[in-house]
């Protein structure tokens, strides 16, 4: 297992957002985390990436506890993240956004990576261009990121995550706001990343067609608790999941 969640709990005042969450993510898999709004999914993603601190429990990444590590240390270990709300550098170009993602690998540091493009060595630029080719955005490399359609901005966020050379990518509702064609392109990219690069994916998503089509295993949260876990077909037939989230249709 590449990621192990052990008895993780989180309260916000009197609200118990997460209650003794336990599950594991297998290396090289696409693992989905689903459930109704308010189930605690994004809170858990924030805790895994280090944005939020848990009240109790532990998280193991590649066998090492990361509960006390800041987000940048987790990124250095190979954990990358995209966000439900787009978090691109909107006034930078598409290429510069990917270069910023490589700052951990670039000894010049963050500012030179993202802003002073001419100061970056050719290898960094070439690797960034290769990532843009991989996510099919090379033709947009000189565009200002905020001017891209939402679907392409989502792809760029994934590309920037790839630039950190991760072993695990956390995708938080990557299909939000996408049309059917864009969602299909995203689905194909996620599978390609897993199949060709061997990168593990943990995805939070409400698009059930996407989730059921790409996931190896699904964990279901409701009111901060795990209510089911299994392969897609098993989850579709689980009466507790149908009642809490999927509905009869």
Structural domain spans, the chain: 3-246
Residue-wise pLDDT for 77-124, tens only, equals 999 998 877 778 888 999 999 988 887 555 444 444 444 455 567 788
pLDDT at residue 57 is higher than 90: yes
The pair of structure tokens assigned to 111 is 């500012």
**DSSP strand E in the chain: where?**
3-12, 15-25, 30-34, 56-61, 64-65, 79-81, 168-172, 200-204, 217-222, 225-230
Place of tokens 């760029």: 156
The length of the chain is 249
* Interatomic CA distance for residues 221 and 229, integer angstroms: 9
* Interatomic CA distance for residues 132 and 190, integer angstroms: 15
Residue-wise pLDDT for 134-157, tens only, equals 999 999 999 999 999 989 999 999
CATH number for region 3-246: 3.40.50.300
The fraction of the chain above a pLDDT of 70, given in percent, is: 92
* Interatomic CA distance for residues 80 and 92, integer angstroms: 20
For the residues 224-239, what does the mean pLDDT come to? 94
Tell me, what's the pLDDT at 112? 46
Residue-wise pLDDT for 24-46, tens only, equals 999 999 999 999 988 999 999 99
Work out the burial of residue 196: count CB atoms within 10 Å of its CB; fewer than 13 is exposed, 13-18 middle, 19 or more buried: exposed
Residue-wise pLDDT for 177-191, tens only, equals 899 999 999 999 999
How far is residue 55 CA from its own chain's centroid?
Answer: 23
* Interatomic CA distance for residues 144 and 137, integer angstroms: 12
């Amino acid at each position: 297992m590449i990621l192990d969640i052990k008895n993780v709990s989180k309260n916000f005042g009197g609200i118990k957002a997460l209650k003794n969450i336990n599950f594991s993510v297998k290396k090289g898999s696409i693992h989905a985390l689903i459930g109704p709004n308010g189930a605690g999914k994004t809170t858990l993603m924030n805790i895994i990436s280090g944005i939020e601190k848990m009240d109790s429990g532990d998280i193991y990444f590649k066998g090492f506890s990361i509960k006390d590590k800041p987000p940048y240390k987790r990124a250095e270990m190979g954990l990358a993240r995209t966000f439900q709300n787009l978090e691109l550098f909107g006034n930078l170009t598409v290429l510069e956004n990917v270069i910023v993602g490589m700052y951990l690998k670039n000894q010049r540091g963050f500012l030179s990576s993202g802003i002073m493009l001419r100061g970056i060595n050719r290898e960094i630029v070439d690797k960034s261009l290769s990532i843009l080719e991989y996510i099919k955005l090379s033709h947009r490399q000189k565009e200002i990121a905020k001017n891209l359609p939402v679907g392409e901005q989502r792809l760029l966020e994934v590309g920037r995550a790839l630039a950190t050379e991760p072993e695990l990518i956390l995708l938080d509702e990557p299909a939000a706001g996408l049309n059917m064609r864009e969602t299909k392109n995203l689905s194909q990219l996620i599978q390609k990343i897993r199949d060709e690069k061997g990168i593990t994916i943990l995805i939070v998503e409400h698009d059930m067609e996407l989730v059921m089509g790409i996931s190896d295993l699904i964990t279901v949260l409701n009111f901060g608790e795990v209510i089911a876990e299994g392969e897609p077909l098993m989850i579709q037939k689980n009466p507790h999941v149908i009642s809490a989230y999927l509905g009869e249709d």
